[in-house]
Amino acid sequence: MNYINQTFTIKTPKRECFVDITQNLKTHVEASNLTTGQVLIYIPHTTAAVTINENADPDVQEDLNFGLNKFFPNIKDYRHLEGNSDAHLKSSLIGNTQNCIIKDGKLLLGTWQGVYLCEFDGPRNRQIHIQLFGVTK
């Protein structure tokens, strides 16, 4: 079993957004020469997250953000003084890790799926750590 740890950085453009990182991941998977295995995606930030969701219609990301803001509005009633408690709540709900299967040397996603960095307190530079593990060619 081979393990490869890598990190890349994404600059998010605004306070709340979903940034498609699918192509970044596909590039790392293809460069790894793994034929079968997994990629672990880890976001080391408390106000960002990672999700796998539809990438065919950008309205899906807008709807996700709309729904999260209904549950966790950016209001002054929170005790945390930095003014980003809503971002911490959203990040905790979505989560900071995802796993994806590598099959035949490629990232295995559904037809309409993409991997998204979820920004809830930007704009910022966000690190994405990935661990690829599996069998090489």
Write out the residue range of the structural domain in which residue 56 sits. 2-136
Residue 112 has what pLDDT? Answer: 95
d(CA 8, CA 62): 25
| Model confidence band, residue 73 (pLDDT cutoffs 50, 70, 90) | confident
pLDDT tens digits, 81-98: 777 999 999 999 999 999
Number of domains in the chain: 1
Q: What region, left, alpha or beta, does residue 83 occupy, with left being phi > 0 and alpha being psi -120 to 50 degrees?
A: left
User: 11-40: per-residue pLDDT in tens?
Assistant: 999 999 999 999 999 999 999 999 999 999
pLDDT at 114 over 80: yes
Q: What mean pLDDT, rounded, does the chain reach?
A: 95
pLDDT at 111 over 90: yes
pTM score, whole prediction: 0.94
Q: What CATH code is carried by the domain that includes residue 18?
A: 2.60.120.460
d(Cα 118, Cα 100) in Å, to the nearest integer?
17
For the chain, give the percent of residues with pLDDT over 90: 89
Instruction: Determine the pLDDT at residue 76.
Output: 79
Residue 137 has pLDDT above 80, yes or no: no
- pLDDT in the model for residue 91: 97
